[in-house]
Structures are given as structure tokens and as C-alpha cells.
Amino acid sequence: MRYSRIAGTGRYLPERVLTNTELEVMVDTSDEWIRARTGIERRHIAAEDQTTLDLAEQAARQAMTAAGVGPADIDFIVVGTTTPDVVFPNLGCLLQERLGVAACPAFALEAACSGFIYALGIADRFVSGGMARCALVVGAETLSRITDWTDRSTCVIFGDGAGAVIVQPADEPGIISAHLAADGRYKDLLYFPYGPSRRRRPEDTETAAIHMRGNEVFKVAVKTLESIVDTTLAANNLERGQIDWLIPHQANIRIIQATARRLDMPMDKVVLTLMDHGNTSAASVPMALDVAVRDGRIKRGDLLLLEAFGGGFTWGSVLLRY
């Protein structure tokens, strides 16, 4: 039986850092409120001339270097993003061209904050099924472009960034299991109201920005993530406490603490980046993974649980041995 494994990781954060203190001047908020209610202290914002593709390219190049692969090796590209540069060509194709990768499947998928988990689950199927030998999997966002900077209930939360991994075949897992799910009945709790087909009309009053009923999202997120980690443990006959590292979607410290409690994991076994990155949607999990790999916390052989929850609602987890 063939498996897949993560061969290398990378990330890119734009240079500009926006602090909570700066936000105090922009909207009626305080550093204290943002820290206490979310855990976020600062976030990175893309420069005017930087797009999601630019961020994705930097993260991808880092992951390729870490894995020791070049453009000629890559034969599958999938990018999770909610903020692509253009509707089409898809961001996977744009990235393929930028990196000089030859003809291969290249696509973007939109599963909001779960985009990277979905992308990794799909890449695993292609690589372990023998249909790809070197997959580039990216989560990349410029959420600052779809944020209403006058809305304090959302603008204090989001940030920009990109994370990437290279997935290659392995004789042993590697990726052990991926669990993907969604429930569209929650579509009205977290959404961006317009698109190419549902265009903004003169009578539309909603801003062209992220809309979130934060408190309601919070409650479903906690319950759903508790349930997905239970599902992941049960599917693999694992007991609580057997996971070495939790790499959660970085939305809210209180949501992450609830998931860690469910897993009986102390917080020093949870990779936290939200204080520095904010919520970067599809980019948050691969960036957190890269941070902990590069600073030496995550070692080869460690058992990792990656999870995410976001608009849709979508959610999912990936259990893997690094």
C-alpha cells in the first residue's frame, strides 16, 4: 500500500504589520478587548501591489526548497483560497505559470478557512492513489481586500499570508486520515455577499466585505471542532492525549483552548500563531505548521492533528505522522 507524506513546508507573511493599537485609531475598539476576546495582537497586511498569488508563490518556493524539489518535479497543484487574484484562470494555474511547472492538474478550491485542510485531503488521495508524485498544496489569502475596515466586529480579526506544503509518496503514513465536512444550512452566519453571478445591485445595502455573526459562529465552531477531533480519534483507534501536536485553525484562542481540552492536550502542545498572524483563513494551518517545523518543535515521527472550521460552514481534520 502506498501512502503520502509531507516532505517540506513553507510560509510567507507580508512585511506590513498592523497592531491592535493601530486599530484603536481606526475603529471603536481596544487592544485589551481584542486580546481578551480573540488572542490576536497583530496581523500582517499585503502591500498595495501584492496579490494572493505573490504570497502563494513565496510560500510555495520555501516549501519546495525545504523538500528539495524543483518545478520539474511538481505534477499536481491545489490552492485553498477565498481571495483569488481573478475568477479565472484559477490560482493554481497562475501559480503553475509563475513557478514554471509543466502541464499537470492545477486548481483552486474555495472552502473558506477549511481550504487548506480540504486541499491536503485531496492531494493525499492523488498521491497515495499513485496519480501524482509531487503535489504542491497551498493555503493563501489576502483577506484585507475583503474586510470592511470600519466594521469593528470583523476588521480586528483577519490578516494576510500564505502557507504551503509538498506532498510526496511514502511507504508508511504520512497522512493517516483526512475528514472533510460541510453544512450549507449555516450559510448566513459567515459570508461575502457578492460574486460574479450574484452581482451587487443599486438596491443592495450590504457592504462588499466579510459578514460574520461572530458569537453564533463561535458556538457552532466549538461544538463542531470537538466533534471532528472525536471522529478523528475514533477512526484511528486513538485515545485522547496520544496526539503530539495540535495545529488548529487560528480563529480565536478560546475556540482553540476548547479543542485542546477535548483532546486532553496541554496548551504547550498546541501551535499558536494567531497572536502574530490573526485569522488568515486557508493560510492559517499551513503557516502554523511551518512555524513549528522551522523552530524545531515538530520533529519527524511526531503525530499531528490539523483542523479547521470556516464559512459554509466547512470543517475538517487531517491526522498525520510528520
3-class DSSP state of 171: coil
DSSP letters, 299-310, are -TT-EEEEEEEE
| Catalytic hit among 20, 44, 90, 113 | 113
> 26: which 3 cell numbers?
481606526
For residue 72, the number of C-alpha atoms closer than 13 Å in the C-beta half-sphere is 0
Residue number with the smallest Cβ distance to ligand UT7 = 214
What is the nearest approach in angstroms of ligand UT7 to the Cβ of residue 279? 5
Indicate the Cα dihedral angle 197, 283, 111, 52, nearest 10°: 20
Phi, psi of 135 (to 5 degrees): -100, 135
Contact 292, 165 (CB under 8 A): no
How many residues contact ligand UT7, by CB under 6 A? 19
Spell out, one character per residue from 157 to 176, where the chain touches ligand UT7: x when CB under 6 A holds, - when not: --------------------
Judge whether 249 counts as a catalytic residue.
yes
Q: Which is nearer to ligand UT7, 38 or 259 (CB)?
A: 38
- Specify whether 155 is catalytic: no
Binder of ligand UT7 out of 113, 263, 305, 319 (CB under 6 A): 113
- Part of the chain binding ligand UT7 (CB under 6 A), chosen from 102-110, 115-123, 211-219, 231-239: 211-219
To the nearest whole angstrom, how small is the minimum distance from the Cβ of residue 23 to ligand UT7?
8
* Coil/strand/helix, residue 31: helix
Instruction: Give per-residue burial for 54-70: e unless 16+ CB within 10 Å, then b.
Output: bbbbbbbbbbbebbebe
Please indicate whether residue 279 is annotated as part of the active site: yes
Q: Does 279 bind ligand UT7 (CB under 6 A)?
A: yes
| In the complex, minimum distance from the CB of residue 90 to ligand UT7, in angstroms, rounded to a whole number | 22
Q: Provide the minimum distance between the beta carbon of 263 and ligand UT7 in the complex, in angstroms, as a whole number.
A: 18
> Closest by alpha carbon to 161, among 51, 308, 272?
51
Contact in structure between 156 and 43 (CB atoms under 8 Å)? no
Subset of residues 29 to 68 that bind ligand UT7, contact rule: CB under 6 A: 29, 33, 37-38
Instruction: Report the C-alpha gap between 134 and 168 in whole angstroms.
Output: 5
Shortest spacing between CB 197 and ligand UT7, in angstroms: 24
Residue whose CB is less far from ligand UT7, 74 or 113: 113
Residues found near ligand UT7 in the complex (CB under 6 A): 29, 33, 37-38, 113, 152-153, 156, 214-215, 217-218, 221, 251-252, 255, 279, 309-310
Q: What residues act catalytically?
A: 113, 249, 279
